[in-house]
């Protein structure tokens, strides 16, 4: 695309010669899958500025921690401008990232106007500094896969709300990470329950109910469910009341940490 060629030409004019080649690779991958119609009304200067801002955010990253920035692009400060607020993310590539981010934005009432999401294979030194970018299409290329996410959303002029939005996006990314990391253990729990549920004879449920429950758990574990969190609870009953008490160190996924409410009172309808 001629428009991207013009952006790359600007890279070789303005970026240090020892970085220009790597920056060109970044920018070509950055815009590779963006529909042409989404870019045609934009100037090469703004496309250059947006990509370079994300390029700068990519330069240094601690393994396991995403870089996140939410800001209102201003030409004097950022080298490009937009009528929208911009969210930039650089992090380990994982499932559900874009969906989780856009759902959070929608939940908070922000419409999205453009999403750019290349997955690049990058090489970093021991300190997390970017040293090379490989073509993600290359098979067996060295480096790790990182998600580069650019979202343009409804303009948010309030600085406090921008900071709050960034904190919430960081929370969402953390939840995605623990859910992905604990997916296999959670699936294993479902499989184990499918085998053992009610086998010790202690359940008041009928054998038909138990069989249906075991079959349902097996179906969930067979790739039909996205496991997000798991925790075990102890039932405490007596004096006409019933409570569920969280069992420490049993949490997985987004329920890994200590529960906000360690003991939950069951309603009258739920007690039976």
Q: Is the pLDDT of residue 271 over 90?
A: no
pLDDT for position 164: 98
- Report yes or no: 53 and 77 within 8 Å, Cβ to Cβ: no
- Decide if pLDDT at 181 tops 80: yes
Lowest-confidence segment of 135-139, 194-198, 201-205, 206-210 by average pLDDT? 135-139
pTM across the whole model: 0.87
Q: What band does 58 get if pLDDT is binned at 50, 70 and 90? A: very high
What value does the mean pLDDT take over residues 41-61?
Answer: 96
Instruction: Report the pLDDT averaged over residues 80-100.
Output: 96
Q: Band of the pLDDT at 159, cuts 50, 70, 90?
A: very high
pLDDT of residue 203: 86
Supply the pLDDT for residue 243.
Answer: 94
List all residues 6 or more positions away from 213 whose beta carbon is below 8 Å from its beta carbon. Answer: 197, 198, 205
Q: Is 235 exposed, middle or buried (0-12, 13-18, 19+ CB in 10 A)?
A: exposed
pLDDT tens-digit map of 65-77: 999 999 999 999 9
Angle at CA of residue 213, ends 209 and 217, nearest 5°:
175
126 vs 61, 98, 177, CA distance in Å? 10, 28, 22
């Amino acid at each position: 695309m001629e428009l991207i060629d013009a952006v790359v030409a600007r890279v070789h004019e303005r970026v240090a010669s020892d970085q220009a080649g790597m920056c060109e690779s970044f920018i070509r991958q950055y815009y590779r899958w963006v529909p042409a119609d989404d870019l045609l009304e934009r100037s090469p200067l703004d496309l250059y500025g947006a990509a370079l801002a994300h390029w700068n955010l990519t330069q240094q990253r601690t393994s396991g921690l995403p870089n996140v920035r939410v800001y209102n692009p201003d030409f004097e400060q950022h080298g490009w401008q937009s009528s929208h607020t911009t969210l930039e993310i650089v992090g380990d590539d994982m499932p559900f990232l874009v969906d989780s981010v856009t759902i959070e934005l929608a939940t908070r009432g922000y419409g999205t106007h453009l999403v750019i999401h290349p997955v690049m294979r990058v090489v970093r030194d021991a300190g997390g500094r970017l040293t090379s970018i490989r073509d993600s299409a290359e098979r067996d290329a060295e480096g790790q896969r990182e998600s580069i996410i650019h979202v343009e959303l409804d303009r948010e002029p309030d600085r406090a709300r921008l900071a709050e939005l960034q904190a919430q996006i960081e929370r969402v990314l953390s939840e995605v990470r623990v859910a992905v990391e604990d997916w296999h253990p959670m699936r294993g729990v479902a499989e184990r329950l499918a085998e053992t549920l009610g086998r010790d004879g202690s359940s008041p449920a009928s054998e038909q109910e138990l069989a249906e429950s075991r079959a349902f758990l097996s179906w969930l574990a067979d790739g039909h469910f996205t496991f997000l969190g798991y925790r075990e609870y102890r039932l405490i009953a007596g004096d006409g009341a019933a409570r569920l008490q969280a069992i420490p160190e049993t949490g997985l996924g987004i329920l890994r940490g200590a529960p906000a409410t360690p003991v939950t009172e069951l309603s009258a309808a739920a007690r039976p």
